[in-house]
Amino acid sequence: MSFRGHSFAYPSGGKFLMSDEEESGPQESGRSLRDEFRNRRPTINDVARLTGVSKKTVSRVINKSPAVKEDTREAILRVMHEIGYAPDPQARGLAFRRSFLIGMIYDNPNPQYVVNMQQGLLDGMRGTGFELVVHPCDRASETFLSDVRNFVERQKLFGVVLTPSVSEDERVPPMLREIGCAFIRIASVSLDEPEHMIVTRDHLGGEAAGRHLASLGHSRIGFISGRPSFRSSHERRRGLEAGLAEHGLTLDDSLVAQGAYTFESGYDCARTLLERADRPTAIFAANDEMAAGVLQAARSLDIRVPDQLSVVGYDNFQLAERLWPRLTTVHTPTREVGRRASTKLINPQIAPGTEQDDPRALPSLVVRESSAPPPAG
């Protein structure tokens, strides 16, 4: 590059000429630039000093502004690489009067869901300069809404991704709009304008489960629902009923038990259903944690799975393949849903609703050893 003015030595053997308009720093003599920053983190001011340009010019390069000459850009990027300078997303955000932080807000009893969702959000943020901040909360708390607001304002978030059941709380979106925070809601049904929604369509998974058990020949099918405060619980039941109806069957209300999306609730509900004289020959649990509880309850009652009882779960998390028998379950593409959510949040120009037509974002049945035809007779 060609700056007018005097020069300083650069470790690669070349020279950067410093502009007459910029105040030059001390000349480097023989030692690597990285030596200077062995005990401290380089700053944007260091980059500006070593390249002989203004801090504003460095900032423009960091933010990929076209208003910088190519040779100047290349010189700045070389110095950044040499001294190990990495832009701080929060500092970048201050320049834009916003942060480069995205929040994930959740109240979910399933830790694997939380992990998979985080991975998906990070997939969508990779290479964008955005970082993820997670915020667990208790939707039942009296301070829930103020806690969420304080989190968003304290972190100066660019936007948030709301997962079930936080996404289903109709108090949250108006609050976020009021404080100017972008948001995406993930839910089993559409609850907002398409630009704010990722719809998981859980009823399709329930339909697949009901269709599968009915096609095997089961007619007495139990259902263990999730928390009533989660819309997914109702949608999965709705789907189950629709899948059974395709085979002329109905769900017997006496074979429905109220769970809480936990192993313990699955175990307790299954014991109740399986201790009946007219026990079901199959049980559909609204998530894999509860399905694992069903398997344990059957084992405790000497009921063989799948010879005497078929079990179907929902999620297809790692647990499903680690149980024995391995669990037939509905696969939910949680990581893919998370990726789409963060991508949509960062790039709001993406056409709304297109993800709903992509099978990669829809639930699907995975058949394993825990389901089989009912016992004869």
Q: What is the per-residue pLDDT for 10?
A: 35
Closest CA to 25 of 52, 65, 64: 52
d(CA 125, CA 101): 10
Q: What is the DSSP letter of 5?
A: S
Q: What is the per-residue pLDDT for 95?
A: 46
Q: What is the per-residue pLDDT for 282?
A: 98
Q: What is the per-residue pLDDT for 39?
A: 77
Residue 41: partners with Cβ closer than 8 Å, 6 or more residues away: none
C-alpha to C-alpha distances, 8 to 39, 47, 58, 92, nearest whole angstrom: 22, 14, 18, 28
Domains defined along the chain, listed by start: 7-86 (1.10.260.40), 95-199 (3.40.50.2300), 202-333+356-366 (3.40.50.2300)
Q: Provide the CA 78 distance to its chain's centre, in angstroms.
A: 35
As given in the structure block, the two tokens for residue 125 are 């943020």
CA atoms within 13 A on the CB side of 134: 14
The residue whose two tokens read 């059941």 is 165
Q: At what angle do helices 202-216 and 231-245 cross, to 10 degrees?
A: 40
As given in the structure block, the two tokens for residue 300 are 């405790």
Q: What is the per-residue pLDDT for 340?
A: 94
C-alpha to C-alpha distances, 344 to 149, 159, 170, 218, 281, nearest whole angstrom: 22, 11, 21, 42, 43
Residue 334: partners with Cβ closer than 8 Å, 6 or more residues away: 113, 116, 117, 120, 315
Q: pLDDT for 149-161, tens place per residue?
A: 999 999 899 999 9
d(CA 213, CA 244): 8
How many other C-beta atoms can be found within 10 angstroms of the C-beta atom of residue 136? 11
Closest CA to 115 of 285, 318, 290, 263: 318
Closest CA to 296 of 318, 276, 319, 314: 319
Q: What is the per-residue pLDDT for 86?
A: 79
Ranges of residues in the chain with a pLDDT under 50 are: 1-30, 93-97, 354
Q: pLDDT for 177-202, tens place per residue?
A: 998 899 999 999 999 999 999 999 99
Closest CA to 174 of 201, 199, 193: 193
d(CA 312, CA 374): 13
Q: What is the per-residue pLDDT for 33?
A: 65
